[in-house]
Structure 1
Amino acid sequence: MNRSPELARLVRFYEAINPATLHEELASVYATDAHFKDPFNDVKGHGAIAHIFTHMFHQVNQPSFHVISGIQQDGEAFLTWEFRFRMKRYRTDEQCIRGATHILFDERGLVTLHRDYWDAAEELYEKLPLLGAFMRMLKRAAAR
């Protein structure tokens, strides 16, 4: 994948994310008033975005992102990725969420919009003990 400097910096940030350097490195890739949205969050600003990642480190073990592919045109990019982790509760085997992210960069190469797209029902809820059985039953019923 041929990456611009700003996209390469963002991919490195995600693939090396860790609690010790989160706040410092987040400021090097996200604009101060960046907007971040995923299936569970809709926030603006460094503090709120950092809180999402800090929460992630508290909820799961061994979180890691791997960017599979990406395209960029001018100040806009689209990435596909895998997020691997082990739940601290419930299942302890490695889990994988596959998704995509739409990114907008400002003129300085900082992220102003980060919008994640992934299916929370299939990628997460179906893997939880009680909720998973219910979600799989709903999925089968809807397919009939």
Structure 2
Amino acid sequence: MTFLRTVTLSALTLFSLVSCKSIPSYSADYDRANKQISGIILNDEQAQLVGQHFVAAFNTMGTADFVKNAGQLYADHLYINDTLSQFSTKKELVKHFEGMNEHVSNVSVKLISATHTHDSAYIHWHMVYDFKMLGRMKTMSSYGISQIKINDEGLIIFQQDYWDPANGLYRSLPYVGNAYSLILPLKKNS
């Protein structure tokens, strides 16, 4: 057990150092995109429709229809940051969806609420899914909010997701979860 902890801690330390290279902060990218990309001004009904379309497409994740359904939501050029990845074209995003789709099944996404401010819809959602990694299947559950702007064709041109990947994903993964418990021992892991 001590050996495993040492190896895990060493790997995480090395990963942290490698990850510290000069990468621009996503906060600067978000700030720039949020100022430069304007969507249509929304009302309550439109924000609700954005949420319903978003949830309907992501409820097909893990099926043959997902990539087509989700791809139909997005414009060719966009800003999207899903907390783990950032994309500026639909082509890149669809490739990401194809890879993601291979690892998930039994997806259930529920729309909790949809609100708006000017041109941004804030979609509050809850997602439960089975995730396959390293030959093991694990049920994951996560709450999040997506800030979404749409163009006059109803396509997403801006999306910033806010969710906690530490508790919504990483802590539940084989080996990675153990590493997190070493780094963040004070946070409850259930």
State the TM-score bracket (shorter-chain normalisation): 0.7 to 0.9
Which of the numbers 97, 100, 118 marks the counterpart of 1:56?
Answer: 100
Partner SS state of residue 136, structure 1:
helix
Is 1:105 the counterpart of 2:150? The answer is yes
2:163 to 114, 118, 121: 118
Equivalent-residue separation in structure 2 for 1:74 and 1:137 (angstroms): 43
**Pairwise mapping of residues 7-86 of structure 1 onto structure 2 (< 5 A)?**
7=50, 8-17=52-61, 18-20=63-65, 22-23=67-68, 26-27=71-72, 29-86=73-130
Q: Where is the strand percentage greater, Structure 1 or Structure 2?
A: 1
AA aligned to 1:121 is A
Superposed displacement of residue 87, structure 1: 2.1
In 2, the alpha carbon distance for the partners of 1:121 and 1:34 equals 26
Summarize the Cα distance change of 1:10–1:85 in structure 2 as closer, same or farther, 3 Å threshold. Answer: closer
Give the aligned CA root-mean-square deviation in angstroms: 2.6
Percent identity between the two aligned chains: 20
The answer for the alignment partner of 1:139 in structure 2 is 184
> Structure 1's 11 and 92: CA in aligned 2 closer, same or farther, altered over 3 A?
closer
Q: 1:142 to 1:97 in 2, by over 3 A?
A: closer
Candidates 154, 169, 172, aligned match of 1:127 = 172
SS in structure 2 at match of 1:107:
coil
Q: Is the 8 A contact 1:77 1:104 kept in 2?
A: yes
Q: TM-score, normalised by structure 1?
A: 0.79
For 1:54 and 1:64, how far apart are their aligned partners in 2? 18
CA contact (8 A) 1:34 1:112 kept: yes
* TM-score normalised to structure 2 length: 0.62
Cα deviation, residue 142, structure 1: 7.6
Q: CA offset at residue 77 of structure 1?
A: 0.5
| Worse-matched range after superposition: 83-92 or 97-106 | 83-92
Structure 1 residue 65: Cα displacement? 2.3
AA of the residue aligned to 1:134: A
8 Å Cα contact 2:81/2:161 also seen in 1: yes
In 1, Cα distance between the equivalents of 2:109 and 2:172?
19
Amino acid at match of 1:114: Q
Q: Which 4+ residue blocks in structure 1 deviate beyond 6 angstroms?
A: none
Gaps of 5+ in 2: 1-43
